[in-house]
Structure 1
């Protein structure tokens, strides 16, 4: 497999390309993605067998099971980051080692339904919160400790809409390649 083919498997929809000016339409579209994602993701993965769930989406990548659990973990962190940024002045958030989390027993072996249900709940709360944000709220931010960059909430909405589509594409593309769809 060539480096380009591997890169295409790693980033099937490309990396997040945030518009220079984020409009209200962008925010609304991204929130719609976040609102619809848990149900779409569940529909994609709910009928997979144990063997299918334990198939990696790319060489050296996670299994579908790990991807599902990762999305739940990651979006839980995102929700918390939104709340911190809305209640504190540019808080420094807590980073985590997603690769290590993906190796824990709950991510490697447990049923995906627990993370699907968690994802539905966290997105329900997240979307409700995001729909209530004012233009001023969208300018609030947090500091990511790994990069020391200030992350605007408006950007973070788009980033997590992308993150949802990104991991959905990992699973969907594998399923297409394997003839499971």
Structure 2
């Protein structure tokens, strides 16, 4: 496994999560906007355009991807809470990363979007009962999953991308 692609390792779900697990994941989700902002705050435009690994996205694309992913995740959660086991749409993230908004939009727009979205998402997550965490949706890429699994995956996903950026900064001697 390439440590540049998966600096935290691949996602491994906690199959029997407790309320303490959920609280920790929700707190991780609450802290992601701050962690991401701190991770990218001192990067210049050339550094933002540096791929985190050969053939990988650049830092700017990763930040915009996180905003897009978070919007999609939020909708999946709301649909799972209001529909019976919905089929969640997917998106071609590798193609989205090539669109002009990833190239021409300053990362501040995505950082603000992530901050606002996480504020609402955390309120929603903190309000859920244990039974609601058992509601499901079906992902085209990951299959049927509970909101318990989706919460862990969501928290891991952001930490995973932040770790990719941190790893790049360390290798390049940026700070």
TM over 0.5: yes
Could you say which residue in structure 2 is the equivalent of 1:163? Answer: 157
Moved over 4 A (4+): none
Aligned to 1:73: 68
Displacement of 1:169 in angstroms is 0.3
Which one of 145, 149, 171 corresponds to residue 151 of structure 1? 145
1:122 equivalenced with 2:117 (yes/no): yes
Q: What are the within-5 Å matches in structure 2 for residues 30-179 of structure 1?
A: 30-146=25-141, 149-179=143-173
Work out the CA distance in 2 between the residues paired with 1:96 and 1:79.
Answer: 14
State TM-score, norm by structure 1. Answer: 0.94
TM-score under structure 2 length normalisation: 0.97
**What residue ranges of structure 1 are gaps of 5+ in the alignment?**
none
* Deviations, residues 91-135 of structure 1 (Å, cap 9, x unaligned): 001110000011111112320000000000110010000000001
Q: Aligned match of 1:20 in 15, 19, 40?
A: 15
* C-alpha distance in 2 between matches for 1:161 and 1:35: 9
Gaps of at least 5 residues in structure 2 are none
The higher relative CO (CA closer than 8 Å, separation ≥ 6) is in: 2
CA RMSD of aligned residues (A): 1.0
The match for 1:11 among 6, 27, 30 is: 6
Q: Distance in 2 between matches of 1:20 and 1:153?
A: 12
Number of matched residues? 175
